[in-house]
């Protein structure tokens, strides 16, 4: 009996007819690329894509280290009146692509910059809505949550120092510039972080499919902290116990759970509507 070589479809970057050894080598190479996009403690974060990079370039608080741009992207920056404080280095698209993962859409722009200052949870203003993420590790989900938070003018996003993605690479791309508008607060212990928010006057509401009350019917007030858990695991038990209330988003369909980034957007809409006087 003959053994067929593994299909190159098992890896998007593999060539047709690639052998298992070639596919495994490609996978190791992609893992090394992904690791290179993780921000070191004292190193720059990586940003790419039009909205992500231009928002950073317009932010005077963002310290820039390296800017690469294709000729077309540099011309577009000039046409849009974006004048970065750091002159871009003109490169071919391949020079940017080789710095990123195979699926990254860079649109001719690549930026290395310092992370923005992270305020302490105790220093957050007691106003509006804060989102708290309980060990949500998918960078695309967290980036999409940042985008919704910026759209609804959230005060901040709170994450844990461990079990959360860096504000770099895929997360920054998914956020589409929202990292420049919504402060990121990192806490070592989430329960203590929630306790600090409560001490500042925040009403802390956890979101979980097993919640006793519908979020839309729960008495809400500002300042408000909405706590979201990872898909599958949901909120951890200690997180639930620390919340003032645990609520669900009532869904009429056969599927009773949502992607966490979608749940965040709906929760922000409900909270904004209720806090604005909606009944």
For residue 40, being part of any structural domain is answered with: no
For residue 195, being part of any structural domain is answered with: yes
Q: Assess whether 135 and 256 both reside in one domain.
A: yes
Show the domain range for 69.
Answer: 45-113
Whether this model's pTM surpasses 0.75: yes
For residue 230, being part of any structural domain is answered with: yes
DSSP state of 222: S
For residue 39, being part of any structural domain is answered with: no
Q: CA angle, 271 as apex, 115 and 117 as ends, to 5°?
A: 15
Q: Assess whether 104 and 209 both reside in one domain.
A: no
- Please compute the mean of the pLDDT values over residues 166-178 and round it to a whole number: 95
Rounded Cα gap, residues 267 and 83, in angstroms? 37
Question: What's the number of CA atoms in the CB half-sphere (13 Å) around residue 237?
Answer: 0
Which residue among 113, 132, 148 closes a domain? 113
Cα–Cα distances (Å) from 128 to 108, 213, 250, in that order, read 37, 22, 23
pLDDT of residue 63: 96
- Closest residue by Cα to residue 250 from 217, 203, 225, 206: 217
* Beta-sheet strand order (sheet of 64-69): 45-48, 109-113, 64-69, 89-90
Q: Assess whether 106 and 138 both reside in one domain.
A: no
pLDDT of 31 higher than 60: no
The CA radius of gyration of the chain, in Å to the nearest whole number, is: 21
Q: Assess whether 135 and 85 both reside in one domain.
A: no
pLDDT of 39 higher than 90: no
Which tens digit of pLDDT belongs to each residue from 190-238? Answer: 999 999 999 999 999 999 988 889 999 999 999 999 999 987 788 999 9
pLDDT of residue 23: 64
Dihedral angle computed from the Cα positions of residues 228, 230, 236 and 241, in that order, rounded to the nearest 10 degrees: 10
Rounded Cα gap, residues 51 and 175, in angstroms? 9
For residue 170, being part of any structural domain is answered with: yes
Q: What are phi and psi of 226, to 5 degrees?
A: -105, 125
Dihedral angle computed from the Cα positions of residues 142, 145, 147 and 148, in that order, rounded to the nearest 10 degrees: 180
Which residue among 113, 143, 171 closes a domain? 113
- Please compute the mean of the pLDDT values over residues 47-62 and round it to a whole number: 97
For residue 103, being part of any structural domain is answered with: yes
Q: Please, what is the average pLDDT of the chain?
A: 88
263-277 as b/e, with b when 16 or more CB fall inside 10 Å? bbbbbbebbbebeee
Q: Assess whether 101 and 60 both reside in one domain.
A: yes
Which tens digit of pLDDT belongs to each residue from 118-152? Answer: 999 999 999 999 999 999 999 999 999 999 999 99
pLDDT of 109 higher than 60: yes
Residues 6+ apart with CB under 8 A from 253: none
120 token code pair: 């302490």
pLDDT of 257 higher than 50: yes
Bridge partner residues of 159 (DSSP): 186
Q: Assess whether 186 and 269 both reside in one domain.
A: yes
Which residue among 70, 94, 113 closes a domain? 113
pLDDT of 5 higher than 50: no
User: Which CATH number is 145's domain given?
Assistant: 3.40.1280.10
Higher pLDDT, residue 107 or 12:
107
Q: Assess whether 189 and 80 both reside in one domain.
A: no
pLDDT of residue 201: 97
Q: Assess whether 95 and 137 both reside in one domain.
A: no
pLDDT of 4 higher than 70: no
Q: Exposed, middle or buried by CB within 10 Å (0-12, 13-18, 19+), for 87?
A: exposed
- Please compute the mean of the pLDDT values over residues 86-115 and round it to a whole number: 95
131-150 as b/e, with b when 16 or more CB fall inside 10 Å? bbbbbbebbebbbbbbbbbb
pLDDT of 36 higher than 80: no
pLDDT band at 38 (very low <50, low <70, confident <90, very high): very low
Q: Assess whether 228 and 96 both reside in one domain.
A: no
Calculate what percentage of the chain has a pLDDT beyond 90. Answer: 75
- Domains of the chain: total: 2
Q: Assess whether 158 and 98 both reside in one domain.
A: no
pLDDT of 172 higher than 80: yes
For residue 57, being part of any structural domain is answered with: yes
pLDDT of residue 92: 97
- Please compute the mean of the pLDDT values over residues 258-271 and round it to a whole number: 96
For residue 31, being part of any structural domain is answered with: no
Q: Assess whether 144 and 266 both reside in one domain.
A: yes
Q: Assess whether 140 and 58 both reside in one domain.
A: no
pLDDT of residue 30: 52
């Amino acid at each position: 009996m003959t053994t067929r070589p593994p299909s190159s479809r098992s890896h998007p970057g593999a060539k047709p007819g690639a052998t298992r050894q070639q596919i495994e080598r490609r996978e190791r190479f992609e893992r090394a690329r992904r690791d290179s996009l993780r921000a070191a403690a004292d190193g720059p974060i990586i940003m790419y894509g039009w909205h992500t990079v231009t928002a950073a370039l317009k932010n005077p608080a963002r310290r820039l280290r390296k800017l690469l741009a294709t000729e077309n992207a540099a011309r577009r920056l000039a046409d849009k009146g974006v004048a970065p404080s750091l002159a871009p280095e003109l490169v071919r698209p391949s020079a940017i692509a080789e710095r990123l993962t195979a699926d990254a859409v860079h649109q001719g722009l690549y930026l290395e910059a310092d992370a923005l200052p992270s305020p302490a949870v105790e220093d957050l203003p007691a106003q509006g809505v804060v989102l708290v993420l309980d060990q949500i590790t998918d960078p695309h989900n967290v980036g999409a949550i940042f985008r919704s938070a910026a759209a609804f003018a959230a005060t901040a996003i709170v994450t844990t120092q461990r079990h959360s993605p860096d504000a770099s690479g895929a997360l920054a791309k998914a956020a589409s510039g929202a990292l420049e508008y919504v402060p990121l607060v990192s806490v070592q212990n989430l329960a203590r972080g929630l306790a600090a928010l409560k001490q500042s006057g925040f009403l802390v509401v956890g979101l979980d499919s097993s919640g006793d009350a519908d979020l839309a019917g729960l008495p809400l007030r500002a300042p408000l902290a909405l706590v979201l858990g990872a898909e599958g695991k949901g909120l951890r038990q200690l997180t639930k116990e620390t919340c003032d209330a645990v609520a669900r988003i009532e869904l009429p369909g056969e599927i009773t759970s949502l992607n966490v980034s979608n749940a965040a957007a709906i929760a922000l809409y409900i909270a904004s509507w209720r806090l604005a006087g909606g009944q």
